[in-house]
Structure 1
Amino acid sequence: MPTRVDPHVKTLDEQVAHRAKARNIDVLVYAPHFTRLPEIRARAERFSDDDLLVVPARELFTGSFRKRKHVLALDLDTPVPDFLTLEATLRELDRQDAVALAPHPEFATVSLDIVDLNRHPDLFSGVEIYNPKHLEKHNRRAQEIVRETGLPSFGSSYAHLTPTIGEVWTEFDAEIEAPADLHHLLRSGAPRRVFHRSGRGHELRRRAEFAHLAWENSWEKVDRLVLSGMEATHPRHPAYEGRFDEGAVY
């Protein structure tokens, strides 16, 4: 029986889990911003049950805030901070044999581009071709990137808002009973199909998610949360014991 996976959500609580189940989503990949891996793992476990598997992940901010590029990382052994150079981030993901995905490619100022993907052809296991924040031109460009690179595709709700859960999913013809099952399917390039809802409700949810970008990308937010050096995923936070100082941009 096919398994419906939403490979990238930012929010997770009782309402999110309930909505995912109501919309027949089997697996959520939970990757919030500026949250350390142990906390993500604990929350993912809390909301996993027989009807919904929540897989922990990190959407890593690489580079400086003004020139950042996001990398979605699954199957991490140990925490990786934000705001390392892209090269330092990818070296660490390669060292850990993590699953690296390219969310929202060439979208706004927060994304990997085709040059990055071609420079590291063996490190990435997928490129996102649809999420509700994309305009149609972004979806078309993402599909071109998949064709040009030969990388597998995926689609996600990229949900920052609860109503967006279940609007997009990636379907595999395989059972996924544990995070390792999903990691294997992504690494192996297993066949999958990307689906999304349509109609007025979908368009309204897309607009709501797009509007959310104003706060998501505000300098005030990042200056307050990250650049002070006290944010949990800042590379110079004491939790990382100086291991990433060389690759840090702040």
Structure 2
Amino acid sequence: MSTRVDPHVKILDEQVARRAKERGIDVLVYAPHFTRLPEIRERAARFSDDDLLVVPARELFTGSWRNRKHVLALDLDEPVPDFLTLEATLSELDRQDAVVLAPHPEFASVSLDVVDLNRRPELFDGVEVYNPKHLGKHNRRAREVARGTGLPAFGSSYAHLAPTVGEVWTEFEGSVDSAGELHGALRSGAPRRVFHRSGWTHELRRRTEFAHLFWENSVEKVDRLVLSGTEDTHPRHPAYGGRFDDGAVY
């Protein structure tokens, strides 16, 4: 027996859940941008059933928008905001004993690099080696990063668009029937293999996801999410009670 896990999707609705099941995915990790942890947990529970387990997570934006680096965190006890320094983010994840993964390493200007990973390797539980938004050279470099750090590999659909769900998965040996079992498998470096689909439809979906990057990095979005200071995951939002002010970059 094995379990197909898509360790990182950004969207979750009826279409996404249906597509995951049609593609044979057993577990989805739901980590949307700029959404607080309680809302993520509630939505993940809503779409979990006997055929699909949805595990809540956060992809954290560390540093400033111009120099941001993404960190994927599972098994959080408490909400963590975006736009803290990388050091402050990692210290908080260490305090919570979270599962910490490096998505799309050394990709564009939004990713952890090998220096970041080697600075505190004991905090990280995996490196992504295949991502549809990557070009071929990016996936090759990601594999080099995984080998160079000795961290376990994973691959995800990183789906921002529903058709991409199920294009990539990480297959673990044995069953994964709960969020706790997934956290344990990631922490322990449990045996797994990374798979992805191929052919012209896979290439089309990869290119469509890559094109989606332009909207993700639009000036309008930066103004709305960063400069307003009122977004739910802004470090100075009242919900955090000033706890992260010292590590905030905005």
TM bucket by the smaller chain?
over 0.9
The TM-score normalised by the length of structure 1 is: 0.99
- 1:178 CA displacement: 0.8
Partner of 1:164: 164
Kindly provide the CA deviation profile for residues 43-97 of structure 1, in whole angstroms up to 9, marking residues without a partner as x.
Answer: 0000000000000000000000000000000000000000000000000000000
SS of match in other structure, 1:11: coil
| Number of the residue aligned with 2:123 | 123
Q: Give the alignment of 1:201-216 within 5 angstroms.
A: 201-216=201-216
**1:173 maps to what in 2?**
173
1:139-158 equivalent positions in 2, closer than 5 A: 139-158=139-158
Deviation at residue 220 of structure 1 after TM alignment: 1.9
* CA deviation vs aligned residue, 1:102-136 (integer Å, no higher than 9, x gap): 00000001000000000011000000000100000
- CA deviation after TM superposition for structure 1 residue 226, in Å: 2.6
Q: Deviations over 1:157-200 (max 9, x none)?
A: 00000000000000001211110000000000111000000000
Moved over 4 A (4+): none
Distance (whole Å) between structure 1 residues aligned to residue 118 and residue 31 of structure 2: 25
Displacement of 1:26 in angstroms is 0.2
Q: What is the CA distance between 1:225 and its match in structure 2?
A: 2.1
- Would you say 1:26 and 2:23 are equivalent positions? no
Aligned to 1:4: 4
Per-residue CA deviations over 1:4-42 (Å, capped at 9, x if unaligned) read: 000000000000000000000000000000000000000
The aligned length equals: 250
Match of 2:192 in 1: 192
**1:219 Cα deviation after fit:** 2.7
**CA separation in 1, counterparts of 2:146 and 2:76?**
24
Alpha-carbon RMSD = 0.5
Structure 2 Cα separation of the partners of residues 82 and 174 of structure 1: 35
In structure 1, C-alpha distance between the alignment counterparts of 2:228 and 2:125, rounded to whole Å:
33
Write the letter of the residue equivalent to 2:219: W
Distance (whole Å) between structure 2 residues aligned to residue 56 and residue 199 of structure 1: 31
What corresponds to 1:245 in structure 2? 245
Q: Letter of the aligned partner of 2:85 in structure 1?
A: T
% identical equivalent positions:
82
Q: Specify the SS of the correspondent of 1:91.
A: helix
Structure 2 residue identity aligned to 1:94: D
Q: What CA distance in whole angstroms lies between the structure 2 residues aligned with 1:17 and 1:178?
A: 17
